[in-house]
Structure 1
């Protein structure tokens, strides 16, 4: 019997609502079939069957709200053979444990599985970044035991109860799918009663994807690996998986890859000619298997890219391939803003508890320019343009693990103090690795400050699906002409990269000029000019 419980669906989410049951008691379900849709105050998502079987009991009705970790249904084996096999495996494991362990090493109680939670609507797999606890360690309820890394962020998985970590099933660096068991937590027991260290289980030769790597369809090459969520999109939309390039580990096709292929139409099946079948040379090539890694030299070190770094690389390349990206430049005299900061820095710090920085002025200036040039705040969706009447500004933050872009919500209604506080909180969460999925989702425009690293000028890359990004650079004293006189002023180069498919050159230049005017004459921000 397998328990279906509400997974940890987010750092700030403590309860969910059962929206609808997609399978009923007595129904036979296959592994990865959706069985129930749950809703939180942020999003809705589906829970899938962890294995083949029969949904034997539903414990929570539709419309009811339950806490994370609540048992909502039970699944039984779908056939006698499967049940017998499971019992045989279980029996072998028990015999092995009793043979290898001393006579005193007996279990003092039941154990619970620590499974990979549903960490986001478009996330189908995670990487086990690091185990904070080892086999035999005692843990307290809500204590962090493992750090998981997705292609969007890293997050910690906490213990659902106090106990002892009795078994680790997935090693650090391995990939696990949503719902897969990572470890087992037993009841508290003495140190002498602990089992020996467990060997991390490998799901397949590709690296810990048990039950997933074998998901194949008639149009999927034998060596292709299609994740369950991607397989569903391919099947429902009759796509050709051989035309989809996988961005996951070992070329695995992820949900995002299938969704992108569906939106751009690159994986549509071609109708076969009536007279004769299409020659093999004409058909789309299957995804090329990754070449064998080259040998490293004595003074080289090979380190696997993190999921976050892989995603950064893929998204930046996608931005170049998809958008008609162009950059326009200008420069701003920072004298007035520097004078304001120097005059009011002590009073500002005393009142708001944060320092008055440059970023708050830039956020306000960008919001002002976005209101005048709304296409820079819009996005393309197929053949439509979505204009956004809100201003959620993404702030690029460099961390040890890579570049992340958390979002400052409703920047248009925040004061300079509110903006500085918000940016400070997001920056601290980014550096500590505590950014949630909601912190990263839904920005309308991005600001990147390369100046903190000394960059004099650069062309920032778009943050899809946004249509604009502003690059700030280092402030440098340079000779400029003011009122026909040569003077020395603190100058900053500004760069606006934009999607030329939606933003015309005139609009891009107008936007950057408005930002320049607001920075050089901050009173315009007060007067909403």
Structure 2
């Protein structure tokens, strides 16, 4: 008998959630208690598990949809019901074919290496946790190489992070990946030093686009909203830090006349400040972003404005 997958109670004062992502696809075999879908709320993210073993027959709500408590997310059918539903038009499939075809297909996938690492677990071993799979996907980690330390050998977030730390320590610096987040990483550059104070930076590849949009989870949206509200109600403080500018002043005094002759503009300190800011934004690209609605917009260009204090104001 088919069983509905419903949104469980989300906690006090939480009445709706957003579907973060489905961990299973239609037609996948699921075990009782296995996580099927991730839900995002204003307070916490949670997983909805399967109430019975069977086949995920239908997905009713898609990723990004807003759902209420008790709403149907999908349908789980018993394993014996799935082939009959797929046959359709009254066609009967021989029982020998039903038993042999899936096994043959799976054997072919194993022999050709088409199965993902997460599905190569033994019957007694639980699949990696959703968070572990997400981290492994973002950092290109082969989960088949990660040993689970939890009961039943399940790979968790800590196992993946520990494997990454050990792998980085045992890898030569030239083989390490500088930024695992390919979407937000700045384009690689080639630096050529020609003198003590002149550095030429040559981009090796043009950026794929000027902006990238990333959907915010419900929790991130709430955090962003609370921070904006805090700007209107909390005291805002300014931090002052002293730095040694003697090296910059030495370069400026040495290059001042040449710069003036070449560009017909005086070489001030703002150029050095701007270069430092751009370098910091390249190192930390998420600081060069803004919130638009329910999306975070990562910018691959740099629009710098510097205010100057005066008696009349900025």
Q: Same fold (TM over 0.5)?
A: no
Which structure has the highest strand share of the two? 1
Higher RCO, Cα 8 Å, sep 6+: 2
Which structure has the highest helix share of the two? 2
Length-normalised TM-score, structure 1 = 0.20
Length-normalised TM-score, structure 2 = 0.31
